Amino acid sequence: MIPWSEVRFLGVILALAVLAAPARAGTVGVVVSGDVDLQPELAKQLEAWLRGHGHTIGPSLPTEAVNTLLNCMLIDDQGCARGVVEARAKTDAILYGQIAKSRTEKTSTIVTLNWIQKGKDPVGMRRTCESCTKDLMASMLDEVLGMVVSASAVERGRLAVHSRPEGMTVLLDNENIGATPLEREVPAGHHTIVLMRNGKKVGERSLKIHSEVTAEITIPVTIPDEPVAPPQPSRVLPGLAFGLGSAALVAGGVLYFTSETDDGTQLYYRDTRLLGAGVAAGGLVLTGIGTWLWLRRGPRDSAVPVAAIGPHGASIGVSCAF
């Protein structure tokens, strides 16, 4: 018979071993894309890592499903990628890897990894490998895959956010995650949700997400009052009065200064002084009215129409302060 103290010791060791064991997704399929000459080595190292960490390599997705998954990744649609895996994968998870030479730095290799496990949101990470050798690649993959798979094992719940009205930008812990209404998977724990509209905070809520539970909340929106500019009178009437007055002022000036004087050398002569003075006076009145109406509606520093008549001619224009 084994002493009770030894039984307890063995139990503690077993518990620690279970807690320390990496989270496993059962069978895993591997999908690789990118530069054709680099794909075989990436696939080989991914499969080696999975086997070394207790995972079983299973069949990949069917060809048409792989093409759909690649399209999802091309547009960075994580929901689309999860849907493909949920519907078409025969394994418990898909490890998607993309590898390509940098288009700007020829010595750099860019590797993107996405761990897509059924029933959970995908977890992805991108790294750059400088002057990448097989050993450097293996070291980088070991680090990145450890973080990605561990992040996928974190307990998660779902969050459904609505607002009144809908269409507000949602910040989850200061990260923009879309606009209401929305639903997504988030890590369990305490979170802060802020609603934004036109760059201003219009709502806020703190809540705790529990594992495997959907938290649905509706946040009322408080939209701050925005100053509304009072309606401005139309510029048509002052502009018309100023235009007609200016034209009459010029015409009156022309009539006045081109009037002929009776010097006895001709039988008839054209005396338009009185008519010109009358037309110019009317024009001056209309111009004044137009200017007054313009000043009533416009700001003090806007351009102001000006008209003037003198002994040697007439002038019209605008005046403003600088």
Q: Are 144 and 127 in contact (CB under 8 A)?
A: yes
Integer Cα distance of 282 and 244 in angstroms: 10
Residue type, 181: P
d(C-alpha 154, C-alpha 222), whole Å? 35
How many other C-beta atoms are found inside a 10 Å radius of the C-beta of residue 216? 11
Residue 117 banded pLDDT, cuts 50, 70, 90: confident
Q: Are 145 and 120 in contact (CB under 8 A)?
A: no
User: Which candidate, 248, 238, 282, 118, places its Cα nearest to that of 185?
Assistant: 118
pLDDT in tens, 131-150: 888 888 889 888 888 888 77
Nearest to 160 by CA among 142, 122, 140, 186: 186
According to DSSP, the β-strands at 304-310 and 156-164 are unpaired
Q: Is a pLDDT exceeding 60 seen at residue 311?
A: no
CA distance 250 to 307: 9
Whole-number Å distance between alpha carbons of 180 and 219 = 10
Q: For the segment 71-110, what is each residue's pLDDT rounded down to a tens digit?
A: 998 888 888 898 999 999 999 899 999 999 988 887 889 9
Q: Is pLDDT above 70 for 7?
A: no
Q: Are 111 and 42 in contact (CB under 8 A)?
A: yes
Task: Please state, rounded to an integer, the average pLDDT across all residues of the chain.
Answer: 79
DSSP state of 181: S
If you average pLDDT over each of 3-17, 75-89, 144-158, which comes out highest? 75-89
pLDDT reported for residue 244: 80
The count of C-alpha atoms lying within 13 angstroms of the C-alpha of 295, restricted to the half-sphere facing its C-beta, is: 12
Residue 70 has pLDDT above 80, yes or no: yes
By CB atoms closer than 10 A (0-12, 13-18, 19+), residue 298 is middle
Whose tokens are 């930008």? That residue is 169
Domains, the chain, with CATH or none: 24-150 (3.40.50), 156-220 (2.60.40.10), 236-319 (no CATH)
Looking at the predicted structure, is the pLDDT value of residue 8 above 60? Answer: no
pLDDT of residue 301: 43
The pLDDT of residue 2 is 43
Q: What is the pTM of this model?
A: 0.48
> What residue type is assigned to position 70 of the chain?
L
pLDDT on residue 166: 92
In this prediction, residues 166-182 reach a mean pLDDT of 90
